[in-house]
Chains A and B, each alone.
Chain A
Amino acid sequence: MNGEIVQNLKLLSPELVLVFFLVVLFTVDSIWEQTRKNFVPLALVFAACLLGTIATCWVSKLAPTVFFSGLVANDSFSAFFRYVFLFSCAAGTYLAFGSKELEKQNRMEFSLLIVCVTFGMCLMAISTHLLMLYIGIETVSILSFVMAGFKSEDLRASEASFKYFIFGAFASALMLYGFSLIYGLTGSLQYGEIAQYVQANLGNMPYLLPLSLILVYSGLAYKISAFPMHFWTPDVYEGSPTPVASFFSVGPKAAGFAAILRFFLDILSYDAASGSWKAIGGEQLVSVVAIISAITMTVGNLSAIGQNSVKRMLAYSSIAHVGYMLMGILTLDTFGLGAILFYIIAYCAMNFGAFWVVSIVADLKGSDRLDAFRGLGWSMPVLGVTMVIFLASLAGIPMFSGFIGKMLIFGAIVKTPGLLWLAVLGVLNSVVSLYYYAKILRELWLEGREPGNPSELSIYHGVALVGLAIPTVVLGLWFAPVIHFVERSIATIL
């Protein structure tokens, strides 16, 4: 038994690396006070992410297993999401250290929080047991509340944090209720055992099961901010510091998708032959997911149109993107799910980039409203051009990764019979989204030059913007290797 634990511990090495660095951060913090203001924590977080990536690379080569009595799984799917989380952790910290919003805060504390959230997100992606999943989700949630309110002297941030907390508690309660129903029905919280139950009762599924699945979905929908649990998103993103908001819009969202994909795919005991949702609740469940995705993207896009605060606009746009991604689940095959993973990669770069620009502008002008962007393209060309790339990519214009993501998702829908309406709605939504993205472009470039002194973009930020723009362009033109990568990643859970 002991031997097995030690043996399997190495499969958790990415998480162990994060825990190790948490301890290091704590120790350094307590013995060397200057680190609260300098860049040492950044270096430590980078080291953690780098080592974590190496560890992930190493464990992803091992044979996929479910271990620790069915609590967690190590496979290429876990590896994929660990990469995403480690990347968003590193990028989020880098942004936070360059932002004036968090200048006065304790940087060591911030680094501790973000590493710990990353640890929680990894748990969410690898867990194959509802309790384990719950621990992961709560680790992420509770620390996220703290991060949202990190500017403790700012009332808006505290309000954001409080809203986030109330909503989170509500969502957790719903989800826990769903867990308890599932336990009552199946006698287990382990995905594999739930799946066995589902398979054994294929013909006569009790109606309680779909209900409990919807409850579980609600809890996870809160994490990815999908309808009907999306209401917190704009308020929290607007209130929390911009670097934190950008991290929220990428990391925890990807974690939510990881949990949803693994849970639903595992327990639906995917039947490769029929490839349908028939296992539970019949065809209606497809319609439910289709409708949820339709409402999510439409609500997100339509609400974004009227926004004057760019941060809020991007918050709504992030809801819309969740709607697009949810469409990929409908097909339940490698193509559609691979499309989601591809979209997550593309979204990581372009959304981080867009938030990054907002953060720079907010630092410069003290406002994230549309008119703060006026003429900035002319005075800061690198910022202007990269923002064009990010927004065009978010809108799904070819040559950029966002287009490929959308194309794969719509492709998955188009080849599924009966979902033509959703595909048409989806593309019309991307036209709507272009309208509000174009508003930002207009302010950046079309409204004449910025009055007053030209401002310089620091190299610190320039490197990041270019670094995020390059993958956005490259993935739009050459994505064959990434397709192989995501299909390999998804293959293990199908």
Chain B
Amino acid sequence: MLSWMIFSPLIGMAAILAMPRNRPDIVRWAAVITTAVPLALGVMVFSQFDRSTAAMQFVEQVSWIAPFNIEYYVGIDGLSVPMVLLTVLLSFICIFASWNIENGVKGYFAMFLLLESAMLGVFCALDFFLFFVFWEVMLLPMYFLIGIWGGANKVYAATKFFLYTLAGSVLMLLVMLGMYFTTEPHTFSLLQLANLHPFSTMTMDLFGWQLPMDKVFFVGLFIGFAIKVPIWPFHTWLPWAHVEAPTAVSVILAGVLLKMGTYGILRISYPILPSATLWAADAMAILGVISILYGAFCAMAQKDLKKLVAYSSVSHMGYVILGMASLTTAGVNGAVLQMFNHGTSTAMLFLLVGVIYDRAHHRWIVKPDGSRGFGGIAPVVPVYTGVMAIAVFASLGLPGLSGFISEALVFLGAFSVPRFQMYVIIGSLGIVLGAAYLLWMFMRVFLGPLNEEWSGLTDMNWRERFTLIPLTILVVVLGVYPMPVLKLMGTTVAKLLTSLT
């Protein structure tokens, strides 16, 4: 079933490539059908998933390259299921959000489907080699999606994304090879590596220094994953890529790709390198707090709506890192829930930015010349304003919407660790700052006297409403009752934490 889910977009991609070039509508509907298949399978996984066990489920294991003991080995547990669901949902929505792509429609949707395959592969892979291949396969479609269908600075943004991500993943490659060759028998299986985790007693030689192997591996992996998250100071690719990418690609980037970094840390670094994880927890917490504050301050300074949302991602992913670093049940549960909730709320924000950009062809809060970009448009576009309000409040953590619960859990978890209390106090400033930049933005764009230039703005059409309604429902429902997601991951998180201590 997982294989069907991973590879059905690829089948769709092949079909789309075989279609005639002058019939874009057929291509679009083919993409809809193709992404509907993983979505349906995702719903089936959600209903059939056994929440009482931490073991891998829906496992498929076939030998792939026998001489190196590489396997096609996929399966999901409580950590992967929320991410898989997020991926299939956002991919489906993004097809509709890409409806207005006119140029090179075939190529666009083919790349998009390849990307979906790779993302699902990353979240399902249980073999390090397979994980790495899926991880890297994302590079090329992402490069082209940003570079061909992006905004004004697309080439620079695409190249920067490409190089940063590759730099991170080559370090991961070295760690992967190092792990493979130091275990006996040589294996790429993540579960087997987690069972053996022999690295804490080994050392490696660098110009005569004997470095502890597990810490070197942890740092190498962490840099690779931190670039993806991105954690300060590895975040500089993010504003470029997010801002220049077309709307749907920004949604995927912020909604799914960023989570791969934190997912990788939880899936690979934590179970395989437990002692190094304990060693690095403090540093991770500090980096998390810096990301929270730095992202928030940067967001506050932005005049471009999309850039503001992009920097808010840096800030919100900081909460995830802080929660993960706490190594407490509440903290890690909160972190994974925050991964999911940030996926939905930030996807809403990017979709909404896309909506207004399609109409106004700019997205300045304040134009470079100092005049108002928008202002007072709430009465002109009431539905849009309402949905935006929900997204903004969810993002800033208003109780009753999804962001609140996950952030509260993160802080609760981190605060229960005595040495992290200071970090929590500083980090909680991020909530205030988050409220500040989001509400300030809301005020400047939607409230106040109407900017007459935009009095003719049209409200969201049915296609746009269709993309936002499911996310709005999720944000509200999970804000009131988060148990569906928490139950999915609870057992797995508990097992992960017992294996660490």
Contacts and interface: CB of A to CB of B under 8 A. Distances in A.
A47 interface: no
Interface in B176-198: 177-178, 180-181
Nearest to A406: B173
Nearest to B162: A438
A445 B140 CA distance: 12
B139 A420 contact: no
Interface stretch (A58-66, A84-92, A119-127, A476-484): A476-484
B206 interface: yes
Contacts of A479: 65
B20 to A, nearest CB: 14
B204 A420 contact: yes
A447 B144 CA distance: 11
B178 A414 contact: yes
Most buried by A among B148, B166, B167: B166
Contact of A446 (B147, B166, B167, B170): B147
A423 B147 contact: no
A424 interface: yes
Contacts of A434: 162-163, 166
Contacts of A414: 174, 177-178, 181
Given A421-B207, A431-B163, A445 B174 contact: no
A398 B65 contact: no
Nearest to B154: A446
Contacts of A480: 65-67
B174 A442 contact: no
A407 interface: yes
A399 to B, nearest CB: 6
A410 B177 CA distance: 8
B204 A392 contact: no
Given A411-B180, A428-B170, A446 B67 contact: no
Nearest to A423: B174
A71 interface: no
A397 B142 CA distance: 13
Interface in A370-415: 378, 388, 392, 395, 397-399, 403, 407, 410-411, 414-415
B393 interface: no
Contacts of B66: 480
SS class of chain B's interface: helix, strand, loop or mixed?
A: helix
B132 interface: yes
A404 B136 CA distance: 13
A424 B174 contact: yes
A395 B205 CA distance: 28
Contacts of A411: 177, 180-181
Interface string A475-494: 00011100110000000000
A398 B163 contact: no
B147 A442 contact: yes
Interface in A411-451: 411, 414-415, 417-418, 420-421, 423-424, 427-428, 430-431, 434-435, 438, 441-442, 445-447
A7 B485 CA distance: 77
A435 B163 contact: yes
B133 interface: yes
Most buried by B among A430, A435, A438: A438
A447 B159 CA distance: 13
Interface in B333-352: none
Nearest to A396: B170
A410 B66 CA distance: 19
Contacts of A415: 177, 181
Contacts of A395: 166
Contacts of A445: 144, 147-148
Given A417-B204, A431-B167, A431-B170, A446 B148 contact: yes
Contacts of A446: 144, 147-148, 154-155, 158
Nearest to A435: B163
B205 A431 contact: no
B143 interface: yes
Contact of A410 (B65, B173, B205): B173
B65 A399 contact: no
B380 interface: no
Contacts of B166: 395, 397, 430-431, 434
A282 B484 CA distance: 64
B137 interface: yes
Given A420-B204, A442-B155, A446-B148, A427 B136 contact: no
Contacts of B474: none
B171 interface: yes
A427 B170 contact: yes
A397 B171 contact: no
B244 to A, nearest CB: 11
A398 B147 contact: no
Interface string B120-162: 0000000000001100110110011001100000110011001
Nearest to A415: B181
Given A431-B167, A435-B163, A418 B205 contact: yes
Most buried by B among A395, A410, A484: A410
Interface string B181-225: 100000000000000000000001111000000000000000000
B23 to A, nearest CB: 17
A438 B144 CA distance: 11
A430 B139 CA distance: 15
B171 A427 contact: yes
Nearest to A395: B166
Contacts of A427: 170-171, 173-174
A392 B166 CA distance: 12
B134 to A, nearest CB: 8
B177 A399 contact: no
Given A445-B148, A446-B154, A398 B207 contact: no
Contact of B67 (A397, A403, A428, A483): A483
B105 to A, nearest CB: 13
A388 B140 contact: yes
Contact of B140 (A392, A417, A430, A442): A392
B206 A421 contact: yes
Contacts of B104: 378
Given A428-B170, A447-B155, 18 more contacts: A378-B104, A397-B136, A397-B139, A407-B173, A414-B174, A414-B181, A420-B206, A423-B174, A431-B166, A431-B170, A434-B163, A438-B162, A438-B163, A442-B155, A442-B158, A445-B148, A480-B66, A484-B67
14 contacts: A395-B166, A398-B133, A398-B137, A403-B136, A407-B177, A410-B174, A411-B177, A414-B177, A420-B204, A427-B174, A430-B166, A445-B144, A478-B65, A483-B67
The 5 closest A-B pairs by CB, nearest first: A427-B170, A415-B181, A398-B136, A446-B147, A398-B133
